[in-house]
Structure 1
Amino acid sequence: MEQAPTSPLSLSVSLAYVRALLQAAEISPAHASQLLRPLGMDPDDTTARLSEQQFATLYRSLAVALDDEMLRCFSRPLRPGTLKFTCLALLDAKNLMVAVHRWSYLSRLMQDDFYLEVTTNESTTRIAIVQAPGAPVRRAVASDLMLKVIHGVASWLAGQRLPLVRTDFPFPRPDFAADHELLYPGPVFFGQPQAALTLDAALLQLPIRRSKPELDDFLHRAPEDWFFATPREPSLALRLRDYLGERLPRPATAENAAEALHISIRTLHRRLADEGTSFQRVKDEFRRDRALQLLTKSQASIHLISEQLGFDSTASFHRAFRGWTGETPGAFRSAGAPPR
């Protein structure tokens, strides 16, 4: 079943991100395919993305089936109802700072794998997930989901999507890093000592603006309202991908990209660095994703695909593709397999 294309700027997550989540939940590949097909997803389409509604439907069904709102990410399940009673405990806090500190105590009661460490300096507040002594090392998706629920609930309590100074992850940059950069409203960094959210300290003084009657609506829409954080504006990396989609096969340089995006070349490089990426990395990832899509979804010749992606020769495309996947475009197309 073929999925309608999804805009990269829409609220969606890649199939690669979802597969990592299913793997953490100990869902077998065969079972994962059975879960994805009713949603209209082709489990073999490496370029597919799940819409907000598709992802929420999948997540809710898994939480019920596994009897765990965190999908087996931690050694002790967080039974259905955990989010509700957590929110009830936070609603009467004076402000977000009190709510976050209260949550840090609650987290110790609910599970054994980590605790929340809240530190504030003159300008920022950092909420870190610290692994408890002797706790097993969890999969990367565990810290990601916990940061998402903290940011999502805090945003709901404050009545606004809270911008982030930065988001840190302790794992290496994954192939689907663009999902993290879309879902977190601020720069994202990988390979850091701890999983953490950093916010403007003034935001933690915001009063709690929600009441108990509003909680039922929030829980009914879960995980939409806590998982999908709308960015203040599309990240520069995503705007650059849109530009590349319109520009190729014509030469795409940092200079003409900066001109098209109405910023200086210095600003382009600085803002991409703030987002944890670079012009060349965004360009390489875009051409890789487009190459995989054309090789699996079209009958275009490898020479034509090379030209469409702006390579000066088929040999150059072969070298780049081997660097991305470990095999040649022809071998990848013949195998019909996702890249290694």
Structure 2
Amino acid sequence: MAIQFVRSALQSAQLHGLDVTAALTLASITPELLGQDSTRVTREQANRVVQALWNATNDELAGFGPKPIPRGTFRMMTLGVIHAPDLREALRRLVEFSRIAAGFDAVETFDDSGQVRLALYPGGRSEADHLVVDIIIAVFHRFASWLIGERIQLNSVELPGATPPYAADYLLIYGTAPCFGAPAGGIMFDTVYLDKPVIRAEAELFEFLRAAPNDLLFRNDYNPTTSSRVRKILERTSDDEAVNAPDVATRLHISPQHLRRLLREEGTTFRDIKEEILRDEAIASLVTGSESIEQLSDRLGFSEPSAFRRAFRRWTGSPPGAYRPSTSPSD
């Protein structure tokens, strides 16, 4: 994911006088990477940052919500939600708990076209205020989908703030491209979901919460977009299997021309997706230090390490060594 998500959370923590050095060290994120706009971080790194901020603040919104939320609040809220008979009642309780416990002005409205809208109003206009709205809206969506055991297809997403340079990342989060500049964060979906029964038990809830914030914030399997389908096919391809756009189109039962058109509508291309996969695999390896540059370059299919280094700089703006905190950036 884009470093800006992590940076916004850290900036908010710093505004509250917290030393974020420990959180960065725990996540193996160097100051150089934090300051580079094109930096990408792994899901595990982001997860460590959030957990470190939780521990430092004893606040489940890490200091950038309308008011502090003591650790364990979300667990108590969800225990009150999970025994609802259906999603309609579960969302009513979740909205009410959000007002009481977190201080959010959350609203649930219906319109004449059979859609429900969940909205959350930011407490201010700073980047941190917008970020917390983004987070809570995503949590509402993913937790609601988990409750009924079915991914809720969103018809639209609205978010406050200007369109960020990393806006494409939101497609992975919501499964649809959001509209920015809205007065509140909101999602709209068909009211047919409201009558779906809540199928989860308390034991399942405790297991779900043990993985927090990973499953609530960082999982990318909630989106049936064309680009996500292409990405999953490519990720499941063995290293020695060459797969091109016509191959993927065949697996999706569409023509190569239609595939290109669908990807273009989502603001990407087949080549872009392949490079994003290579970039993410490279970052994951570099962060863990499991391979040498030569081994990684060879595994990813580069003719030589120098070609890999040039590509990595183009993808992230940094040399591969910058992602190895214990080595020189010139590695």
Q: Does 1:61 align with 2:52?
A: yes
1:49 partner SS: coil
The alpha-carbon deviation at position 126 of structure 1 amounts to 1.9
Contact 1:166 1:187 in 2 (8 A): yes
Kept after mapping to 2: 8 A contact 1:91/1:208: yes
CA RMSD across the alignment: 4.5
Structure 1 residue 155 corresponds to structure 2 residue 145: yes
Deviation at 1:164, TM superposition (A): 2.4
Q: Any stretches of 5+ residues in structure 1 without a counterpart? A: 1-12, 244-256, 298-303, 310-320, 322-328
Contact 1:66/1:72 (8 A) holds in 2: yes
For residues 242 and 230 of structure 1, what CA distance do their matches in structure 2 show? 10
For structure 2, the residue ranges without an aligned partner over 5 or more in a row are: 234-243, 284-292, 294-305, 323-331
Of all paired residues, the percent bearing the same amino acid is 25
The CA distance in 2 between the partners of 1:155 and 1:218, in whole Å, is: 13
Residue in structure 1 matched with residue 176 of structure 2 by the alignment: 187
Residue 287 (structure 2) aligns with? none
Look up the match of 2:14.
26
Residue type at the aligned position of 2:41: R
Note closer, same or farther for the CA distance 1:189–1:37 as it changes in structure 2 (3 Å cut).
Answer: same
Asked if 1 retains the 8 angstrom alpha-carbon contact of 2:6 and 2:49, the reply is: no
The Cα shift of 1:170 comes to 2.0
Aligned to 2:86: 95
What pairs up with 1:284-323 in 2 under 5 angstroms?
Answer: none
Alignment of 1:244-259 (within 5 A): none
> How many residues were matched structurally?
283
What residue number does 2:101 align with?
A: 110
Query: TM-score, normalization: structure 2?
Result: 0.66
Q: Report deviation, 1:42.
A: 3.4
CA deviations over 1:314-338 (Å, ceiling 9, x no partner): xxxxxxx9xxxxxxx9xx99xx9xx
Structure 2 residue aligned with 1:40, among 20, 25, 28? 28
1:204 positional shift: 2.1
Q: 1:266 to 1:214 in 2, by over 3 A?
A: closer
Q: Displacement, 1:278? A: 6.2
* Equivalence for 1:124: 115
Please give the alpha-carbon distance, in whole angstroms, between the structure 2 residues aligned to 1:181 and 1:73. 24
Q: Which residue is equivalent to 1:197? A: 187
Equivalent residues of 1:104, 1:116 under 8 A apart: yes
| 1:171–1:190 contact (8 Å) kept in structure 2 | no
CA distance change for structure 1 residues 195 and 30 in 2, over 3 Å: closer, same or farther? closer
Contact 2:14 2:20 (8 Å CA) reproduced: no
- Aligned residues of 2:23 and 2:48 also touching (Cα < 8 A): no
Question: Does structure 1 retain, via aligned residues, the 8 Å contact 2:173–2:223?
Answer: no
Q: Is the 8 A contact 1:269 1:278 kept in 2?
A: no
| Cα displacement (A) at 1:162 | 3.0
- Compared with structure 1, are the counterparts of its residues 36 and 272 closer, same or farther at alpha carbon in structure 2 (3 Å cutoff)? same
Structure 2 contact 98–104 (Cα < 8 Å) conserved: no
CA positional deviation for 1:32: 3.9
Verify the 8 A CA contact 1:168 1:195 in the aligned structure 2. yes
Q: What's 1:49 paired with?
A: 41
One-letter amino acid of the counterpart of residue 126, structure 1: R
In structure 2, distance between residues paired with 1:69 and 1:30: 15
CA contact (8 A) 1:41 1:48 kept: no
Q: Kindly indicate whether the alpha-carbon contact (under 8 Å) linking 1:117 and 1:130 is maintained by their aligned counterparts in 2.
A: no
Q: Deviations over 1:37-57 (max 9, x none)?
A: 3333334234331224x3223
The answer for the alignment partner of 1:249 in structure 2 is none
CA contact (8 A) 2:117 2:187 kept: yes
Q: Which moved more, 1:75-84 or 1:167-176?
A: 167-176
- Which amino acid in the other structure matches residue 2 of structure 2? S
Q: Kindly tell me: are residues 30 and 91 of structure 1, through their superposed partners in 2, closer, same or farther at Cα, counting changes over 3 Å?
A: closer
Distance 1:121 1:268 in 2: 36
> How far apart in 2 are the matches of 1:183 and 1:171?
17
The answer to whether the 8 A contact 2:43-2:218 is kept is no
State the 1:18 CA deviation.
Answer: 1.0
Shift of 1:190: 3.1
Cα displacement (A) at 1:187: 0.8
Task: Tell me, in whole angstroms, the C-alpha distance in 2 between the residues paired with 1:29 and 1:272.
Answer: 44
Q: Are the counterparts in 2 of residues 15 and 50 from structure 1 also a CA contact under 8 Å?
A: no
What SS does structure 1 have at the residue aligned with 2:220? coil
Q: 1:104 to 1:51 in 2, by over 3 A?
A: closer
Q: Which moved more, 1:230-239 or 1:136-145?
A: 230-239
| AA matched with 2:202 | K
Offset, 1:223: 1.0
More displaced stretch, 30-39 vs 74-83: 30-39
Structure-2 change in CA distance of 1:104 and 1:242 (3 Å): closer
